[in-house]
Amino acid sequence: MSLTLEAALTFGVGQKPKFAILRFPGSNCDQDAFYVIRDVVGCPVEYVWHQDTGLAGFDVILIPGGFSYGDYLRTGAVARFAPIMDAVRLHADRGGLVMGICNGFQILCEAGMLPGALVRNVGCKFVCRHVRLRVENNDTPFTSTYRADELLQIPIAHGEGCYVCDADTERELNARKRVLFRYVDEYGMPASEGNPNGSQGNIAGIVNATFNIMGMMPHPERASEKILGSADGRGIFESMAAVAMDRLK
């Protein structure tokens, strides 16, 4: 009989996957992510400093939000050259899971690990509020606990979260179902009213061509328990943990 992730973790069945939370000067969502992995999902987790050069022993890598290196030049532009990023790339090349949230998404795009870029919000204003997301593809290591077209409420907090890419890239993302989340309105439609930053195609989160690197601007770690106003983001971390646990069998 197979067990759910929650049951397996509760009863200690199998080896638990180990998460790494990267820390850059200016990271400010690292502790939130750490708490979710340790106390909500129930997996071992450690911080990894930006000057470290190895990620041996980790199954999932999280790049949290914040303002890495003060967002000098542009968001993520300096962090892409951090020593730890070579290890992140090697981990991903071996098929390991990598997720970037907000500034982490920006870093992954700057590093060329995800296509496109994040630029200033339309209106050039910092936006901090809950938004509605629609799950575009639930057949991935990051979304398997959701239903297709499920609507989520997850907060955003960014000034440079407008996703842009060239037309060929957008066609590829759509054709291969690499857009995992879109901003939507109250009716679940990707209309301008539901797009908080002007992102092209209402794109809120994407995955790479091999479906093991994901970036998203909204903050699921801030929507992991009902006391926070929404627990809709918890499924992303549970999806990654379930996939990583299955690989350890």
Catalytic (active site) residue 130: no
CB of 212 closer than 8 Å to CB of 244: no
CA angle at 168 for the pair 114 and 186, rounded to the nearest 5°? 75
Q: Which residues touch 81 (CB under 8 Å, ≥6 apart)? A: none
**Can you read off the two tokens belonging to residue 28?**
């400010």
Q: Identify the CA nearest to 177 among candidates 219, 149, 218.
A: 149
102, 109, 162, 165: the active-site residue: 102
Distance separating alpha carbons of residues 1 and 19, to the nearest angstrom: 27
CB of 55 closer than 8 Å to CB of 91: yes
Q: Identify the CA nearest to 213 among candidates 27, 62, 8, 45.
A: 62
Catalytic (active site) residue 170: no
Catalytic (active site) residue 225: no
Coil, strand or helix at 82: coil
Burial tier of 192 (Cβ tally within 10 Å: 0-12, 13-18, 19+) = exposed
136, 158, 219, 238: the active-site residue: 219
Catalytically active residues are 102, 219, 221
